[in-house]
Structure 1
Amino acid sequence: MGAIIIKIEILKPGKQFKNYKVMCQELGIEVKKSSDTKKAQFRELERYCTYNKVGHLITIDQVYETPLEKSKRKGNNTVYGDIMQILILDLLAQKRNSGNLIISKSKFLRELNLVNLNYSHCFKRKKALSIFCKVDRQVVSDFYYTTNDSFKRAIELALKTLQNKRLIICNTVTKVSKNGMHSLASPDEKRLILFSERSTMLSLGYTNLKNLRISKDWKEFCKKSKKLLKELGGIDFYYSAYEITPNDKYLKEESDKLLDFLLNKLDRQRHQNELNKKACKKLAVNGSKRHETESELPQQKEFRLEQSYSEDIKKLIDIVIKDNAKIISQEILELEEINELDFEIEYSLPDGL
């Protein structure tokens, strides 16, 4: 199929086409019978505007000032990455300070609209979330582990792509919080973090943080190492963040290829909504795949074999991922046990993101 050329001057907010055939005639494109070629035409139309279909009637809603980049159709990851790159460039244009943007991993998730506000709040209150949504605690932990890993890979792939285009340089840095003030960790503060965690880890009988993280002693480790860090250095908590330096000279050139930056409010919201929908769909599909393939693995996780597993994952997606979900912070706090671990992750997530 050749390139689809649309008479974009016809597209105006409120413009209506009686049906598909009339739309094709007015936009100067060929009327197709195949459903696949029709879908391709509508995908091309979506580069220029948003529209609604009610019965046969097609109504144009918003017309973009700058057309979206044409999808390369190399699979969901490419489309996912393109949207993420657009939003990262927009974020750089909005919030860059002194030439750099330093942003924590969890903050990145919220800025890109990959998660809602319940996500971080419930992350440190998994038991309360488990009770609230009537989902097994193991499933809740499994959901966060796999979701964090998926999001980390997606974000870092987008950053790597922008870096390979030489549009940014991205490094991972460590920040510390003291009395509500946040700053880059000094070499001495980094050494203090290492000392506090190493000594606590050894006191609990572990020599590897990876093994400790999945053990029953993880909460005790977090509590003791945090206390020691506070006592020795006055550090309330620390976290990893991305330090992004943009190539100002060529950033505008690249952004013109993707979209005109800064994004207007409607375009930004549309991209954020699209990314959130794709995230919800991808996480649900991944959950179903884990359920279907778990029985083939040598070391099975029994809870993934339960018939309710896929539906439980969808339930969690609805609560902590979907951008239109009800905020449940108060309900979760009421369910949380008094002695529940309450370490700070407002700005950070574990290594798995």
Structure 2
Amino acid sequence: MATCSRPTVGTPPKSQSLTSNITQRNIACLDNCTMKDFKGKPIECALCSSEFHPQCVGLNASGKRPTWFCPNCKDITSSITILKIEIDQIKKDMKQIKDENNSLKRENKKLKSELQAQTESIANLTTDAHHEPANKTEPIPGQERNSTLLIGDSIIKHINERGLCNTKFKCMPGAKIREIKENITHVIQADPAKFDTIIIHAGTNDCSINDAHLNNASKDIRDLVQDMKTKAPNTKLIISTICPRTDNQKFQERVDKLNNNFKEIATEEDCTIVNNDLTFKMSNNECEQTTLNRSGLHLSKYGTKKLLNNIIPTHCIIKPKSPTTDRHHKYTNRVHIAIQTDRIDTYINDKRQKKLSATSAEKQIII
């Protein structure tokens, strides 16, 4: 930029002091400024307050002075204007992104609701008999349906569910008739058509209380039969009588009383009963010891097979024997296929034969 030179004159008179001050000021002007001697009022930039010669920037020196910006500040104001435009555009873009984000949130919420509904629907398919399903679904094609429920106390604990055919097995150790009745009632209330047949083996624990409790146990069985006739008329109910026991003579007397009550109820209410006394008791009305374990209460594996063989004529719950079964197959401790004969039968038959032979020999010696 060009600067005006200061005149080297003496102290001016008082009337010329203002003009001299102006001429002596350093004025920032354009680089191509040629004005050497300027006597007048310069124009000031409204932004940076720099002073310029009006003639150099194309303004009238004596006219009205508008708000003016120097060339450098004009570039800044134009940049600010451009930035304002860009900021406005960014704001519009941000608003659009915000709207899209809100739309995605709504879509995500909708998908979560659908996923939760599908999850609950799948959970209802796997709900067991203790919970009422929200939606009843048809069985999956090609998948076997458990059409039979075998439920009872710990006397049936040695039954292996894998060897049963289309049967849901539920063992409730320590359960009395009332608890088993409540469980079955809950099942038929949830879905009356869930099972075509329900087989009950209960009452052993009821006989261990007192004589007065037998009436309550008999009433619970009668109520269950009547409830099923009302709420699940198409479901067949089979009552399996209590197996004999040798651990306590008083308890066995209660077993006989309760079994007689079961038979009366079955006759009056026209339901099926499995009389286990026919196979578990010998001709002298005593329990066959080989059907029980050492405790004299729970069944042995042989006794469990007898129990299943008693149930099968009323309702077949055993899988048929595969023709390709290996004859050297070792069974587990629990009954797998009850209608098969194994080494236990051979052992028991041999033991019986030896006992009969010994008895015959004793009789001959006495004679």
Q: TM-score, normalised by structure 2?
A: 0.24
Select the structure that is richer in helix.
Answer: 1
Pair member with larger Rg: 2
Q: Which protein, 1 or 2, shows the higher relative CO under an 8 Å CA cutoff with sep ≥ 6?
A: 1
TM-score (norm 1): 0.24
